[in-house]
Amino acid sequence: MKKNSLTRLSIVLFLLGFSGLSAQTKVDIEDQDSLLINRNIYGHFAEHLGRSIYDGLYVGEASDIPNTDGVRNDLIEALKNLQIPILRWPGGCFADTYHWMDGIGPKEDRPTIVNQWWGGVTEDNSFGTHNFLNLCEELGAEPYLAANIGSGTVKEFADWIQYVNHDGTSPMADLRKENGREKSWGVKYWGVGNEMWGCGGNMTPEYYANLYRQYATFMTSWDNETGLYRIASGANVDDYHWTEVLMRDVPHNLIEGVALHSYSFVEWGNKGDAVDFNEAQYFSTMHTALRMEELVTKHSAIMDKYDPKGNIELIVDEWGGWYDVQEDTNPGFLYQQNTMRDAMIAGVSLNIFNNHSKRVKMANLAQTVNVLQAVALTDGAKMLLTPTYHVMEMYKVHQDAKLLPVSFDSPQYSYEGESLPAVSVSASKDDKNVIHISAVNIDSEKENEVEFDLSGFDIDDFDAEILVSDKLQDHNTFDIPEKIIPKQFKDFKFKRGNLKITLPPFSVVVLESK
């Protein structure tokens, strides 16, 4: 694809570093037979961690907080509004200590366990398989179950599949019916362990590949007409050897997806505060967020080597910002606030996933509520929606739309001698031929002018929304829950197929053709 350079004048101004001047860039958008942006890229992740499940999703049937089968109605409504496509559960690290039969049957008979990974709290198993799968039905979302490989057995895993998917007569199907569910749920997506290089067992990739082969062999779809989608526990960030071993050693008829985990932070071991951060910490966080482009590209290249037809898919089932926990909260609960910095992480990450939709078919933001880069935070009966929620809401228009490839040279965001691409863009066309363009400017100080060549499209004009605020550290609170919300955006001009927009510093804009 052809790339467009900055004009000579804008290059000179940029290199001289004049403050207050906006850089300019031109974006080519192609209309061609292309891939669909899989809606599962907009997936979510809910682990038994801190206040994610209990007090987040689940308040119990007897709660004064309005609920449906114990799940907060306000959160159900918010997730429905996101058109949440898929939800991953019960972990995370918790998955490889979780025994699913502890969470079924009469609640008074369920055993308690200690959550050894997250805070050492007692888990009473009141939220289990039925609760989660019924919630997914309520949301209209696909369930994604992460199974216990680290401390479980092949039989335990196979029994869980039979319990949720078998409609005939069998020991596990009969047990499900005794527990009040006649029809199976037909669960398609299954994670075969989680982070097997770490909390899942500190395994070598060679050992895990053999273990995966064993478990995958005993996975039976039963009455699920679409079959099972088996996801191998994949690499930690840039462990390319892990991906190489899985693609080389696992027969391709036993695997549908390979996972990848990568978080954004200031630096590992010194993640910094979620709200009280400076520009150096912001720049470092954006550096790790934008590295997702490199990670997806290099892991995809390894997958291409062994799977040139793209039958096995890349699943980024944990991503998001990770900072030090909020002061005076349990350090094992990973509760943090959500600022405009997180909106930047969300915007650029989703653009990367969209643009790599040839191989990336699912991504799961960590996590849904009260943990890490959550889309919602709760405090008793109160709930607020974070800037990340609003980015996900603005971007939902890309779900299952046709990817429109973009080509451009980004202006740079520079800080103390280092530079990052300031502008991130992805585009799509839905089944009604409506074009959507999502653009992000991560520069903390400078606006950026972006020009789009849309001469090949039949467009009359655009509507647009923007998410922006006065300071990078701005966030929504329970006292001011709508400090940051999407607003109408008018700082653009469209004439004869040429669209010019001015992106304010640290802003997210989504445009819709009309």
User: 148 falls in which pLDDT band (50, 70, 90)?
Assistant: very high
Inside any domain, residue 380:
yes
418: enclosing H helix or E strand = strand 418-421
318 annotated active-site: yes
- Residues with Cβ within 8 Å of 77's Cβ and at least 6 positions away in sequence, in order, are none
pLDDT category of residue 224 using cuts at 50, 70 and 90:
low
Q: Around 367, how many Cα atoms within 13 Å sit in the side-chain half-sphere?
A: 24
**Of 351, 367, 401, which residue sits at a domain end?**
401
Same-domain pairing of 197 and 342: yes
Q: Answer yes or no: are the C-beta atoms of 229 and 256 closer than 8 Å.
A: yes
Q: Give the contacts of 153 (CB within 8 A, at least 6 positions apart).
A: none
On whether the CB atoms of residues 391 and 23 are closer than 8 A, the answer is no
Average pLDDT over residues 105-127: 95
Residue 93 CB coordination number (10 Å): 21
| Sequence-separated (6 or more) residues with CB below 8 Å from residue 387 | 338, 339, 340, 342, 343, 346, 467, 469, 475, 476, 484
* Inter-residue contact 319 to 365 (CB < 8 Å): yes
CB 424 within 8 A of CB 385: no
Q: How far apart are CA 402 and CA 425, in angstroms?
A: 15
Q: What does the pLDDT average to over 227-250?
A: 97
Q: Which of 10-14, 75-79, 119-123, 473-477 has the lowest mean pLDDT?
A: 10-14
Q: What is the pLDDT of residue 34?
A: 76
Residue 213 CB-half CA count within 13 A? 13
* Assigned domain for 1 exists: no
Does residue 326 contact residue 336 with C-beta atoms inside 8 Å?
yes
Is residue 327 located within the same domain as residue 423? no
- Residue pair 428/504 in contact (Cβ under 8 Å)? The answer is no
What is the average pLDDT across 87-99? 97
| Set 256, 318, 393, 449: catalytic member | 318
Residue 359 neighbours by CB under 8 Å, 6+ apart: 296, 300, 303, 304, 310, 313, 314
Taking the C-alpha atoms of residue 397 and residue 42, their distance in angstroms, rounded to an integer, is 10
Exposed, middle or buried by CB within 10 Å (0-12, 13-18, 19+), for 231? buried
Same domain, 331 and 440: no
The model's pLDDT over 424-483, given as tens digits with 9 standing for 90+, comes to 999 999 999 999 999 999 999 999 999 999 998 999 999 999 999 999 999 999 999 999
- Give domain status of residue 3, yes or no: no
Does residue 428 lie in a domain region?
Answer: yes
Domain end among 350, 385, 401:
401
Query: In the beta sheet, which residues pair with residue 89?
Result: 145
**What pLDDT sits at residue 33?**
76
Work out whether strand 229-236 and strand 257-264 pair parallel, antiparallel, or are unpaired.
Answer: parallel
Q: Is the peptide bond before 105 cis (omega within 30 degrees of 0)?
A: no
In a domain, 136, yes or no: yes
Q: Directed axis angle between helix 154-165 and helix 205-217, to 10°?
A: 40
The verdict on whether 327 is a catalytic residue reads no
Residue 2 lies inside a defined structural domain of this protein: no
For residue 16, the domain's CATH number is 2.60.40.1180
Q: Residue 269 — very low, low, confident or very high, per pLDDT cuts 50/70/90?
A: confident
pLDDT of residue 71: 98
Instruction: Average the pLDDT over 487-493 and give the result.
Output: 96
What is the maximum alpha-carbon separation in the chain? 75
The yes-or-no verdict on residue 8 having pLDDT over 60 is no
Cis bond leading into 405, ω under 30°?
A: no
Catalytic residue among 123, 195, 313, 449: 195
428 shares a domain with 314 = no
Separation between Cα atoms, residue 319 and residue 323, nearest integer Å:
13
Assigned token pair, 459: 């467009």
Contact 210, 170 (CB under 8 A): no
For residue 7, pLDDT beyond 50: no
- What is the C-alpha to C-alpha distance for residues 397 and 466, in angstroms, rounded to an integer? 14
Q: What is the pLDDT of residue 221?
A: 84
Residues 16 and 70 in one domain: no
Do 121 and 162 have their domain in common? yes
Residue 99 shares a structural domain with residue 248: yes
Residue 234 forms part of a structural domain: yes
Q: Domain ends where: 363, 383, 401?
A: 401
User: Are residues 209 and 349 located together in one domain of the fold?
Assistant: yes
Handedness of CA 107, 112, 118, 119 (dihedral sign): positive
> Which one, of 449, 443, 435, 438, lies nearest residue 509 by Cα?
438
pLDDT digits (tens, 9 = 90+) for 270-280: 899 999 999 99
Query: CA 422 to CA 218: how far, in whole Å?
Result: 48
Point out which residues pair with 439 in neighbouring strands: 425, 509
Mean model confidence pLDDT for the chain = 94
Q: Are residue 396 and residue 422 in the same domain, yes or no?
A: no
- Tokens 């008793």 sit on residue: 380
Cα separations in angstroms, 190 against 111, 129, 507: 25, 14, 36
**Residue-level pLDDT at 19:** 40
Cα–Cα distance for residue pair 221/366, rounded to 1 Å: 28
* pLDDT for 20: 43
**β 23-29/406-407 pair status:** antiparallel
Q: Is 315 helix (H, G, I), strand (E, B) or coil?
A: strand
Mean pLDDT value of segment 373-397: 98
Summarised one tens digit per residue, pLDDT across range 12-65 is: 333 333 344 455 789 999 898 779 999 999 999 999 999 999 999 999 999 999
* pLDDT tens-digit series, residues 337-371: 999 999 999 999 999 999 999 999 999 999 999 99
- Which residues, 6 or more positions from 6, have their beta carbon under 8 angstroms from its beta carbon? 14, 23, 24, 25, 409, 411
Read off the pLDDT of residues 308-346 as tens digits, 9 standing for 90 and up: 999 999 999 999 999 999 998 999 999 999 999 999 999
Predicted confidence (pLDDT) at residue 5 exceeds the cutoff of 80? no
Task: Note the pLDDT of residue 373.
Answer: 98
By the 8 A CB rule, do 392 and 375 touch?
A: yes
**Are 213 and 275 within one domain?**
yes
Q: Output the pTM of the full model.
A: 0.94
Residue 129 in 3-state DSSP? Answer: helix
Number of domains in the chain: 2
Question: What CATH number corresponds to the domain at position 298?
Answer: 3.20.20.80
Shared-domain flag, residues 235 and 268: yes
Residue range 238-256: average pLDDT? 98
Assigned domain for 411 exists: yes
Q: Can you spell out the DSSP letters for 232-275? A: EEEEETT-HHHHHHHHHHS-GGG-SEEEEEEEE-SSTT----SS
Q: Which domain holds residue 327?
A: 39-401
Same domain, yes or no, for 48 and 25? no
Whole-number Å distance between alpha carbons of 345 and 266: 12
